[in-house]
Structure 1
Amino acid sequence: MTDLLASIYPWTKALHVVSVVAWMAGLFYLPRLFVYHVEAVSGGSETDSLFQTMERRLLRAIMNPAMIATWIFGLMLVFTPGIVDWSEVWPWTKAAAVLGMTWFHHWLGRRRKEFVAGKNTRTGRRYRLMNEVPTLLLLVIVFSVIVKF
């Protein structure tokens, strides 16, 4: 199995990067949709229904598959011989940030369900602040992998 992983390493790495890009796009966009939803839309209106549809489709059709693919290809990279040295610090900082990113993804999913139920209590400002979370985690991940700190 390790021979197979080593032979397909460039493909696995490329698919991991593509998956991450798609996932990050959603992690940046969904909180922004929530900002507009809170600040410009009345509950129960046609626009409310439109926003809920956009948010659901973004989460289910793009973000969820991208997150799953990111995890699958990432784990394939972890198990590829010679790629990760767990005695170094960088894989641990990356792993922590990926877990944080996954938590944030699920946090957004719970907020979407609140919008559907008409029970959102967060302000546009709160969603703007939360929109910075994936940026910070992305910085940790990129610097961990590239600089290997």
Structure 2
Amino acid sequence: MTWPEFLSYDLLRGLHIIAVIAWMSGMMYLPRLYAYHTETAPPGSEFDAHFQVWEQKLLRIIINPSMTITWLLGVTLILWHVYAAGQGWAFLGQPWILLKLAVVIFLSGWHGFLAGARKKLAAGQRPKSAKFWRATNELPFLAAVVAVLAVTLQFWAR
């Protein structure tokens, strides 16, 4: 199998990083919206309806598409390592890539949790406090730091 020339590693990696930035930005902003929504907008109020629109648009227009693009480009980068770089599938067993994949799975789960929370808020439920949302809105950033350092330093790969 030959690798298409226009799909250079640098292009794929750059597009992947851009998609990750958009995904993380949205996932750091959404919990902040939830905090404000929880503490300032009683269920059924006009302000509640505004928050619901903002949260839904953030998920539908920014977070969901950027996660999809991140995953597609990430899988493409894996295939690049396997085929174009000739590393084969064994590189997936290296600690740095396992750590990165664990972070991606965590972030995808957190994304799902945030999407589920939006539905609960839209239904008038407030299962988490504003304090919870403020305390957790930096989780995507911290996870991204781990993933970026794992890839750029390639821990234990040498």
After TM superposition, the score normalised by the length of structure 1 is 0.93
Give the C-alpha shift of residue 147 in structure 1: 1.3
- Post-superposition Cα deviations, 1:15-49, rounded to whole Å, max 9, x if no partner, equal 11111111011011000000100111121111110
> Rg larger in 1 or in 2?
2
3-state DSSP of counterpart to 2:107 = helix
What are the ranges of 5 or more consecutive residues in structure 2 without an aligned counterpart? Answer: none
| CA distance in structure 1 between the partners assigned to 2:64 and 2:32 by the alignment | 17
RMSD value, Cα: 1.7
- Asked whether 1:17 is paired with 2:17, we answer yes
- Asked whether 1:82 is paired with 2:85, we answer yes
Give the C-alpha shift of residue 88 in structure 1: 2.2
| CA distance in structure 2 between the partners assigned to 1:65 and 1:32 by the alignment | 20
Q: Who is 2:36 aligned against?
A: 36
What are the ranges of 5 or more consecutive residues in structure 1 without an aligned counterpart? Answer: none
- Asked whether 1:8 is paired with 2:14, we answer no
After TM superposition, the score normalised by the length of structure 2 is 0.88
| CA distance in structure 1 between the partners assigned to 2:31 and 2:49 by the alignment | 17
Q: Equivalences for 1:93-132 in 2 at 5 Å? A: 93-132=99-138
The amino acid that maps onto 1:74 is: G
Give percent identity, aligned residues only. Answer: 37
Mean Cα displacement is larger for which, 136-145 or 101-110?
136-145
Give the C-alpha shift of residue 136 in structure 1: 2.0
The amino acid that maps onto 2:96 is: W
The amino acid that maps onto 1:99 is: I
| CA distance in structure 1 between the partners assigned to 2:146 and 2:10 by the alignment | 23
Moved over 4 A (4+): none
The amino acid that maps onto 1:10 is: D
> Kindly tell me: are residues 17 and 83 of structure 1, through their superposed partners in 2, closer, same or farther at Cα, counting changes over 3 Å?
farther
> Kindly tell me: are residues 49 and 88 of structure 1, through their superposed partners in 2, closer, same or farther at Cα, counting changes over 3 Å?
same
